[in-house]
């Protein structure tokens, strides 16, 4: 039996059709016994309510441990604390504490809300004051675009750990060396918490390029070449995406990575296949193996 751990990230759906797709994905991935599933949090009231509804439904109906993402954007500390109290009351025990992006999108200068938490470290400390939440945070193998240097970025990670974070999940990356060098740097700096690689299988290459530009993640030239001239050929794109992600995950597992966090974009297909490749099987299929 594999000793690998997995977790899956979902986003709150906007329509009935997207809701059905998300729920089908939760059902498909649930038997893989993820350590947790996480639900992203966006700016604006209705998006926030959708996160809350999605988190509640997963706890109620799927019985999976949920990590609810929470940001500091456009909210006072009292408002954020209210969300934290509601989550705790509903059985949420794990928060992914994030600063969030400026309301105008990444690339604009981030200005904290005058009465709000200034960054993820402050938010993590605030959450710990409300209840004994498990806290995960984001981290950036290629450094966050707002960080003046890798050293400043690492310093921010340490502040988040001092505030109570016990796990960091990375921004997506496609060059494993970037992740492995980052691990060397953070360990050399005395960081001991798990740094879980965030795996983003490529479903829409053009969309990914835009996202990578704004969040400072590099897309290696070899991937640009691989996806060239395939805009009208989704079947081939999907096969290449699966191969690229499988190669990435298997190489990371060989390097000793024990926990993979999948950015599913609410799709189960690639995440499920990657788990199969890694030897993470549905519980029912795992049991006889364990007994053997
Ligand atoms: P922080 O760690 O607070 O700060 C990021 C960087 O800003 C720091 O490295 C530092 O350089 C600089 N900085 C901030 N404050 C200070 C300070 N006081 N002094 C010096 N430097 C400072 N966004 C969403 O809106 N919703 C989500 O659900 C979501 N989920 C995410 C999940 C993961 C795993 C990751 C990696 C990111 C996610 N994001 C999400 C994106 C995230 O909100 C952005 O990357 C945001 O710009 C930074 O958030 P953070 O928590 O990493 O910020």
Ligand 1 centroid to Cα of residue 98, in Å, is 5
The answer to whether 94 touches 133, Cβ cutoff 8 Å, is yes
Q: Residue 292: pLDDT above 70?
A: no
Interval 226-247: pLDDT, tens: 999 998 999 999 999 999 999 9
* pTM over cut 0.85: yes
Write down the pLDDT at residue 106: 74
Ligand 1 centroid to Cα of residue 4, in Å, is 27
pLDDT, mean of residues 11-33? 96
The answer to whether 117 touches 88, Cβ cutoff 8 Å, is no
C-alpha to C-alpha distance for 55 and 96, rounded to whole angstroms: 13
Q: Residue 38: pLDDT above 70?
A: yes
pLDDT, mean of residues 188-215? 94
pLDDT, mean of residues 179-203? 97
Write down the pLDDT at residue 43: 72
Q: Residue 288: pLDDT above 90?
A: no
Atom of ligand 1 nearest to the CA of 157: 2
The residue contributing the CA closest to ligand 1 atom 52 is 138
Q: pLDDT confidence of 290, banded at 50, 70, 90?
A: very low
Write down the pLDDT at residue 287: 45
The residue contributing the CA closest to ligand 1 atom 40 is 100
Cα separation values, 4 from 220, 245, 261, Å: 27, 16, 11
- 197: DSSP letter: P
The residue contributing the CA closest to ligand 1 atom 51 is 98
Ligand 1 centroid to Cα of residue 3, in Å, is 30
User: Regarding beta strands 198-199 and 259-263, do their DSSP bridges make them parallel or antiparallel, or are they unpaired?
Assistant: parallel
The answer to whether 87 touches 79, Cβ cutoff 8 Å, is no
Ligand 1 centroid to Cα of residue 238, in Å, is 30
pLDDT, mean of residues 145-166? 96
Catalytic sites, residue numbers? 9
Interval 95-139: pLDDT, tens: 999 999 887 777 788 989 999 999 999 999 999 999 999 999 999
Write down the pLDDT at residue 93: 98
**Residue 129: count of CB within 10 angstroms of its CB:** 9
Write down the pLDDT at residue 45: 67
Interval 69-105: pLDDT, tens: 999 999 999 999 999 999 999 999 999 999 998 877 7
Residues 6+ apart with CB under 8 A from 120: 72, 97, 98, 99, 137, 138, 156, 160
Q: What is the overall mean pLDDT for the chain?
A: 93
- 109: DSSP letter: P
Q: Which amino acids bring their CB within 6 angstroms of ligand 1?
A: 40-42, 69, 71, 96, 98-101, 106, 118-120, 138, 144, 146-147, 152-153, 156, 169, 171, 198
């Amino acid at each position: 039996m594999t000793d690998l751990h997995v977790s899956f990230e979902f986003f709150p759906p906007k329509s009935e059709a997207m809701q059905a797709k998300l729920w089908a994905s939760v059902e498909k991935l649930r038997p893989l016994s993820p350590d947790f599933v996480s639900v992203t949090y966006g700016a604006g009231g209705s998006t926030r309510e959708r996160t809350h509804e999605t988190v509640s439904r997963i706890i109620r109906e799927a019985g999976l441990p949920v990590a609810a993402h929470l940001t500091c954007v456009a909210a006072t500390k009292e408002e954020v604390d209210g969300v934290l109290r509601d989550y705790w009351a509903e059985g949420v025990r794990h928060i992914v504490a994030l600063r969030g992006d400026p309301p105008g999108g990444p690339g604009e200068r981030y200005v904290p809300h005058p009465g709000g938490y200034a960054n993820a470290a402050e938010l993590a400390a605030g959450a710990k004051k409300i209840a004994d939440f498990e806290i995960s945070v984001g981290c950036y193998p290629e450094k966050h675009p707002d960080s003046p240097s890798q050293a400043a970025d690492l310093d921010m990670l340490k502040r988040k750990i001092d505030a109570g974070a016990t796990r960091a999940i990375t921004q997506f990356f496609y060059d494993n060396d970037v992740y492995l060098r980052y691990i060397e740097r953070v360990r050399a700096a005395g960081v001991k918490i798990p740094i879980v690689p965030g795996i983003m299988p490529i479903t829409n290459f053009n969309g990914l390029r835009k996202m990578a530009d704004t969040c400072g993640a590099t897309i290696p030239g070899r991937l640009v070449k691989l996806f060239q001239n395939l805009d009208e050929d989704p079947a081939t794109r999907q096969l290449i995406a699966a191969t690229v992600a499988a190669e990435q995950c298997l190489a990371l597992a060989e390097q000793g990575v024990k926990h993979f966090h999948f950015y599913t974009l609410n799709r189960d297909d690639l995440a499920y296949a990657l788990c199969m490749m890694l030897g993470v099987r549905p519980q029912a299929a795992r049991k006889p193996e364990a007994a053997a």
